[in-house]
Structure 1
Amino acid sequence: MAIPSKLTPNDIFEALKYIDENGIPDKNKSREYALVSESGIKYPPKYVVAVAHHLSTGDDIDTSTYNAVEAKNFLRGLGFMIEQNQEKFELVITADNVTSTDERFTMNNLSLGDNYKPLNAYFKKSNGEKINRKRDKGERKSSNQTMPRIACQVFERQLAELSVEEKENFPVCRYSLNSEIIKGIFPSVAVFKQHRNTIEYVVYNYGDGRQFVFYCWNIFSTIIFVQECIKRFGDAGDEFVLTYREKDKKEREQPEVQNEISDETQDFNGYLNPYSDALIESKNIIFRGAPGTGKSYLAKEIAADIISNGYFDDYTLLTDEQKKQVEFVQLHPSYDYSDFVEGLRPRVNDDGSMSFQLEDGIFTKFVKRAQKNYDDANRSREDIEKQNSAIDVLNEYFSNIEFGIDELSLARGTKFYITSVDEEHIHVSIPDNPTIKSLNINKNELLSMIESGQDFNRPKDVTEFFEKQNATQAYSYDLAIFKDLKSKNINAKKTEVAQESVKPFIFIIDEINRAEISKVLGELFFSIDPGYRGSAGEVSTQYASLHENPDKKFSIPENVYIIGTMNDIDRSVDSFDFAMRRRFRFIEIKAEDRLEMLESLGDELKEKAITRMEALNNEISNVDELNENYYIGASYFLKLSTLTFDQLWTDHLLPLIQDYVRGMYDEEGILKKFARAYGYPSIAGDVDENIKG
């Protein structure tokens, strides 16, 4: 059985009643999606569809022939509210016990940890003090290794004082009661591999080049280790706390990356990224700094973090619907107001002639999406249902219209034809009109008329409805289409909707200083100000006189957040507009701030990359005319996944730093020092020859 397409919304409502009375079997509870009823109750989509089919046909309740995504899409198609489950769990480890808010957790099957992703971990002392992981170079915010690293950090002295024999017999992991206890804390990776030849290990550096190396794989694999640390070295009441969630399907398909993360030295506040709070607080931020520090990637991480409410920070894991809450634009010197806000664009008319029409720019389109969400969240459920019904009626009407063929007429007898419909307009052709052969009708006006439930018989009725003193030409066409629609007796679908919540919408402006910002934003300087969001920041745009409603002003709602990125040393642009500077919070991203990007290179290559990067940057800072704004960021070294260190130097780094020093005294000597610091190559003669080239 595939999805039973003949099911109706009423069948689904009956299924929900059945489930309310009979409950949901444990095997049918959904971990990924939930149908949310008007009263806020959540139901598993697959089971809802199966029950609806059972009630309508008498067949057995069977969910085996379709998946959760198919059930989700089917129910959304019927107008039901579906949300993705994003449940977080908390695991508490004491000397005597391990408990989790996830009822599926069991100490007898720690391999289940493969299915979960860590969000945060900390050590809580018996007196209530919390200790987070102190971040090392290249560590991320959270990983499978965060909890054991905290244990090593807290009990470093006690672990170091253990004898070699005690370390080698230290319990680390036991996946089940029937499996072996994995033991051993070793002084190096080489010694570790003599006992267990695997890549599944954690390395903790301490002292003067000393190490603890021991087995670690999934987030549960070191529970035994940290519990043993509390038993031996802790006080009564000490505990480790791990917050985690179930992995997304895409995450389950990806290989696990070790040495990912370290916790920030602050309490978990709901978001994974510390900069997310900065954006929420300030509304407008700009990441500035040296090239290659991962500012653009960081902006997308923050967007994913905020939109998922701290559930993940991988932009690719956002759903298609969630991605509509993010927009990305990269500015360049020729970018202007018409691209960003609005402008006149050429249009080919139905008769083949050319004309210009006003079109929204990328930012205006984005703001309208955010404004709709903000408005819907402040409307009653009944109003939203009326709006959805009106949309259904209008869409049904247009689906039965043969564009350019079906004839309509005004009250005075003028014939016209609907030629096309887009998101905002109904385009009509008026062949017999001697002056105006085409017209664009505001689609939202017609929707408002349908939604009102009123009757409209005269142009005056429409004028009064829109509270205007004089009728516009478009009102006559609104009335004619409205009457034709009513004559077809189209019945709206009865759909249940959930009260919408205000969602964050994040607009990313990459290379924000590469265009003339005053030219791009125009009069929006005022509206962008965090203190003038909403009606307080309304402005008339340059093309207001061409709007369908010239009196309507532009504003930016409270749920819009803006992230800009810029390289301070970009010589292709002038200084950033001072009027704009005070409307943004500027956050410097230094070269060493984003070393976690290099995790994908593996431990050995990552360490070599960091060493060379730091040596090169130190040499750059020794040049009087240069400073840390000219440092080389970690993203350049990601190219080492396909290039050698020498190729990275000759093909990417050398051309950049040659531009840095062009025109300086002893340019060649400076480049030699840079090459030696970087380590390219070991023969001085080759260095000289390559630099001259």
Structure 2
Amino acid sequence: MSNISNNINKEHIISALQEIDKYGISNSRRSATEYALLYNEKEYPPKYVISIANKYANNEELSSNEFNSIQSRTFLNKLGFNCFKKTGSLKSKFANWLLINGANSYKDYYGNSVEEIEIKLDEINSFFDSRDLFKLNNNIEELKNFLQENIYGVNRENNRVFFEYDKIKGNGRPKAILGKKNYFIFLDEINSINNKNIENSLKQSLTITHKMEFFTHREFELLNKYKGVRSDRANKDLDNTYTELKTAYKKLEYWLNRIQKNVFPNGGKHILKKPTNQANNFDGYLWAKLYPTKKDEKDKWLAITLGLDDDFHFNVKIDTVGLSNNPELLNKYLNYRGDFLKSKIVKRHKSESFNNWEDLILQTVKNIDFLMDFYPEIKKLNDSSSNETSIMKDLKIPKNQILYGPPGTGKTYKTKELAVLISNPNLIYDKNWSVIKRREEIVKEYDRLCEKGQIVFTTFHQSMSYEDFVEGIKPKTENEKVTYEVEDGVFKLISDKAKDNWEAHNKRFEKELAFDSVFSRLKEEWEEDDSIKFPMKTDGNDFTIIGFTNKSIQFKKASGGTNHTLSINTLREIFYDEGKNRPTGVGIYYPPILAYLKKYKPHTDVPTILNNYILIIDEINRGNVSAVFGELITLLEDDKRIDEKESIKITLPYSKDEFSVPSNLYIIGTMNTADRSVEALDTALRRRFSFTEVVPNIAMLTENEMENINLRKLLQTINERIELLIDKDHKIGHSYFMKIESIEDLKQTFKNKVIPLLEEYFFGDYGKIGLVLGDGFIKLKDDEDKISFAKNFTEKYEDAENLREKAVYTFTGEDNWDRNTFISIYEQ
């Protein structure tokens, strides 16, 4: 438990930072080795900052033994400060190493994740005040000598507290972790890739005279020009190209040998030295593999790759080897890697970045040092003995489904979970995770996929229209003039993304990129240089692009005319099927742009993976489904989608584009049955969606009584009475009760959640609410509290007295509720 005082505020933290600026860090306290607090472009150790801040809040410095580093970072983050992880920390590397190489029996002590192991390493480290065990101080041998003396040698008696901890709480494991069979071996293994030691070992390499000529720009040009061209040694030009690229491979081998010697002297390497593939076509890259250990070379599925590509880049990356027969592992790797151009495990440098071996070798070493932080984690993807498993194994999920149920049953979270399972079926999780940890990981992955565009969330409402959902004409203001343009709706936008991925997967593979990828590159290139010319067949008729909208490309003809636009959707269709272009009118302007797009090539030889895309429609029953979906309702059926036997295409009413729904698009809707029953939904919608009921689940609530109140019995009793008085669609969900920890929490839940729902369900009939909750919550008004009628009319209205006798109910008020009030609901 953290002993950080809650009364420490932002001002106290800033005062602590000012003190550190003025006096520095006390010699008795270690500076941060793994995480730092960033403030005004300066770095500060988070734990030390908390210790000093406590002095300003509570008049004494807080001992670092009272809390751990994770608690300090969490506290600072909540106050709005930024704590970041430094690259390549020794503790993080060792935690990764233990996760892979540590004895299985250790897991009882330190857990099953890097984060849990780091917490234990922090605990161990806290017993050694004179030395940070996870900071090298430029000398591994000095650290090993310190451990030797303090664990096995003369200083052992000076740290009895650690050995008591080791015996009582660690069962001997903390000492073993720091010992010769673990930490000592780890230190020896990382010795060769530690930044300081690497640079020392490279001095001789970098000061020698390199006899091998450095790479030339022409070699990159040849890769770009001849990629995919069939080699023919009888053709002089192609034969010369083959010979030059073979020479480039010799340079790559020299690069490989220098790195292997200095970084992985006990590892392995592999280089093919052939610039053509099995089909005898020129590759668009030259590559070589580095294996950090002999075991990696024997396993032969993961390596560090060095290479040159046709996009004029040097590459240093973590890459797979020979996984064509293991698509499951390949998918795990690709999901981890993500977008090639943005991946943390791919380091790319423009060809002009280096003109000598010294700079290239040094930068390569730094790249590899960075990449090795992630290498053990990726290796775990192939660990069959791991507790990790695929989160969706052989799970059949319908293309269109609706989750329905009463309020508070967890439908929103369920849609997130389903969306993650569908869009990333290879997501792995640890079987030992708690429910809370699993939920956190699901939400984290959901947010990532939303940012990536694979998951889109929308909510239906009474004003939602076809024009919002599919496409419609929308006004826009440009240069103080109102223009009208066809704009895609949320459904068409995600459908086009899914279709683009489907097309790339089924028809392009490694030969071409998906349309969205190349079109994005074109726009990026145009933003840097808007003078790009697109040549027509007739000389002198080049045209230029002058702008982009969501639906079209604005261009300027050679004659200066700017009145026409090109449809992006039409360009997309032509990209995948050039036969669809009509070479008349503006149709003659598509081929030059198409040719420009085709010049973009993939940065990797891995085929496009088919992704699943998900559209979540919250409160789907609140919209006019027939009007919103329009003619698309038919296209949603499984057998009407792209490439199915009864596939259907329609022409959209505004853009006149052809449209069909791809098979990798899923729709998940939610509906609140308290608003509208399933039976009341549009019949066409009911036929095309599967329905899953999400009911209140008392098992989600704690089994333990809270202040003698059994929350499970409480909710079950309330729902049984509601079902009897109304129906099952109006029950109350378990989620309202999941965070209740005190009687005060329960009071607020009833006041703000439960009672307002019951008032809505029973239309203010407090008598029926009383039948559900009992007289602890509802009471009869006393006669003296009743309203009297107008005296001059009472005698004229014959039922006046009878109306005065009518029972009138009122709430008792939260101040009158106690433990027994809630117990009385389920105990009569």
- TM-score tier after normalising by the smaller chain length: 0.5 to 0.7
Match of 2:638 among 506, 518, 530: 530
User: 8 Å contact 1:50–1:63 — kept in the other structure?
Assistant: no
| 2:674 equivalent to 1:569 | yes
What is the match of residue 140 of structure 1?
A: none
Match of 2:755 among 646, 651, 654: 654
Partner-residue secondary structure (3-state), 1:292 = coil
Match of 1:57 among 345, 360, 377: 360
Match of 1:553 among 645, 658, 665: 658
RMSD (CA atoms): 5.4
Q: CA deviation at 1:538?
A: 2.1
What is the match of residue 728 of structure 2?
A: 628
User: 8 Å contact 2:581–2:587 — kept in the other structure?
Assistant: no
Q: CA deviation at 1:494?
A: 7.0
What is the match of residue 674 of structure 1?
A: 772
**Partner letter of residue 288 of structure 1?**
Y
Q: CA deviation at 1:672?
A: 2.2
- Aligned equivalents of 1:504 and 1:386: distance in 2? 15
Larger radius of gyration: 2
What is the match of residue 459 of structure 1?
A: none
Q: Deviations over 1:15-54 (max 9, x none)?
A: 7897435752249978999534797587999898599998
What is the match of residue 616 of structure 2?
A: 508
- Aligned equivalents of 1:87 and 1:574: distance in 2? 46
- Aligned equivalents of 2:755 and 2:370: distance in 1? 53
**Partner letter of residue 426 of structure 1?**
I
**Partner letter of residue 57 of structure 1?**
L
Q: CA deviation at 1:320?
A: 3.5
What is the match of residue 610 of structure 1?
A: 712
| 2:404 equivalent to 1:288 | yes
In structure 2, the gaps of 5 or more residues are: 1-194, 197-214, 224-247, 261-268, 272-288, 297-301, 305-316, 325-329, 338-342, 430-437, 783-808, 817-828
- Aligned equivalents of 1:672 and 1:335: distance in 2? 39
User: 8 Å contact 1:534–1:557 — kept in the other structure?
Assistant: yes
Relative to structure 1, is the Cα distance of residues 555 and 362 closer, same or farther in structure 2, using a 3 angstrom cutoff? Answer: same
Match of 1:364 among 463, 471, 492: 492
User: 8 Å contact 2:766–2:810 — kept in the other structure?
Assistant: no
Relative to structure 1, is the Cα distance of residues 48 and 682 closer, same or farther in structure 2, using a 3 angstrom cutoff? Answer: same
| 2:807 equivalent to 1:690 | no
Q: Deviations over 1:223-277 (max 9, x none)?
A: xxxxxxxxxxxxxxxxxxxx436xxxxxxxxxxxxxxxxxxxxxxxx5459xx93
Q: What does 1:381-530 align with in structure 2 at a 5 Å threshold?
A: 381-384=509-512, 394-395=522-523, 398-402=526-530, 418-421=545-548, 425-428=552-555, 438-443=563-568, 466=579, 471-472=584-585, 474-478=586-590, 495-530=603-638
Partner-residue secondary structure (3-state), 2:658 = coil
Q: CA deviation at 1:381?
A: 3.2
Partner-residue secondary structure (3-state), 2:753 = helix
Q: Which has the higher contact order (CA 8 A, sep 6+)?
A: 1
User: 8 Å contact 2:766–2:778 — kept in the other structure?
Assistant: no
- Aligned equivalents of 1:47 and 1:561: distance in 2? 30
| 2:645 equivalent to 1:645 | no
**Partner letter of residue 538 of structure 1?**
I
- Aligned equivalents of 2:774 and 2:583: distance in 1? 79
- Aligned equivalents of 1:28 and 1:420: distance in 2? 54
Q: What does 1:312-351 align with in structure 2 at a 5 Å threshold?
A: 312=429, 314-318=442-446, 320=448, 323-349=452-478, 351=479
- Aligned equivalents of 2:518 and 2:562: distance in 1? 29
- Aligned equivalents of 1:305 and 1:344: distance in 2? 35
Q: What does 1:196-207 align with in structure 2 at a 5 Å threshold?
A: none
User: 8 Å contact 1:408–1:417 — kept in the other structure?
Assistant: no
- Aligned equivalents of 1:574 and 1:345: distance in 2? 35
Q: Deviations over 1:434-470 (max 9, x none)?
A: xx85332235766898999xxxxxxxxxxxx645666
Q: CA deviation at 1:689?
A: 3.1
- Aligned equivalents of 1:7 and 1:334: distance in 2? 62
Partner-residue secondary structure (3-state), 2:476 = strand
Relative to structure 1, is the Cα distance of residues 390 and 296 closer, same or farther in structure 2, using a 3 angstrom cutoff? Answer: closer
| 2:511 equivalent to 1:244 | no
Partner-residue secondary structure (3-state), 1:87 = helix
Q: Deviations over 1:84-113 (max 9, x none)?
A: 7772755xxxxxxxxxx35xxxxxxxxxxx
Q: CA deviation at 1:578?
A: 0.6
Q: CA deviation at 1:298?
A: 0.3
Q: CA deviation at 1:429?
A: 5.6
**Partner letter of residue 426 of structure 2?**
N
**Partner letter of residue 25 of structure 1?**
P
Q: Deviations over 1:554-592 (max 9, x none)?
A: 211111222111112205999210111011111111112
User: 8 Å contact 1:327–1:507 — kept in the other structure?
Assistant: yes
What is the match of residue 190 of structure 1?
A: none
Q: CA deviation at 1:414?
A: 9.0
- Aligned equivalents of 1:392 and 1:89: distance in 2? 37
User: 8 Å contact 1:540–1:554 — kept in the other structure?
Assistant: yes
User: 8 Å contact 2:460–2:620 — kept in the other structure?
Assistant: yes
Q: CA deviation at 1:311?
A: 2.0
User: 8 Å contact 2:512–2:601 — kept in the other structure?
Assistant: no
**Partner letter of residue 566 of structure 2?**
I
- Aligned equivalents of 2:631 and 2:497: distance in 1? 20
Partner-residue secondary structure (3-state), 2:270 = helix
Partner-residue secondary structure (3-state), 2:463 = coil
**Partner letter of residue 381 of structure 2?**
E
In structure 1, the gaps of 5 or more residues are: 73-82, 91-100, 103-242, 246-269, 453-464
Give the number of equivalent residue pairs. Answer: 467
Relative to structure 1, is the Cα distance of residues 559 and 387 closer, same or farther in structure 2, using a 3 angstrom cutoff? Answer: closer
Q: CA deviation at 1:308?
A: 3.8
Partner-residue secondary structure (3-state), 1:277 = coil
| 2:691 equivalent to 1:581 | no
- Aligned equivalents of 2:323 and 2:359: distance in 1? 24
Partner-residue secondary structure (3-state), 1:378 = helix
User: 8 Å contact 1:392–1:492 — kept in the other structure?
Assistant: no
Question: What is the TM-score with the length of structure 1 in the denominator?
Answer: 0.54
User: 8 Å contact 2:470–2:488 — kept in the other structure?
Assistant: yes
Q: Deviations over 1:161-210 (max 9, x none)?
A: xxxxxxxxxxxxxxxxxxxxxxxxxxxxxxxxxxxxxxxxxxxxxxxxxx
Match of 1:375 among 503, 519, 522: 503
- Aligned equivalents of 1:369 and 1:391: distance in 2? 12
**Partner letter of residue 419 of structure 1?**
I
- Aligned equivalents of 2:537 and 2:815: distance in 1? 79
**Partner letter of residue 428 of structure 1?**
F
Partner-residue secondary structure (3-state), 1:622 = helix
Partner-residue secondary structure (3-state), 2:737 = helix
**Partner letter of residue 587 of structure 2?**
Y
- Aligned equivalents of 1:606 and 1:331: distance in 2? 42
- Aligned equivalents of 1:86 and 1:558: distance in 2? 32
What is the match of residue 35 of structure 1?
A: 319
User: 8 Å contact 2:503–2:514 — kept in the other structure?
Assistant: no
Relative to structure 1, is the Cα distance of residues 494 and 469 closer, same or farther in structure 2, using a 3 angstrom cutoff? Answer: closer
| 2:746 equivalent to 1:619 | no
What is the match of residue 20 of structure 1?
A: 270
Partner-residue secondary structure (3-state), 2:408 = coil
Relative to structure 1, is the Cα distance of residues 384 and 491 closer, same or farther in structure 2, using a 3 angstrom cutoff? Answer: closer
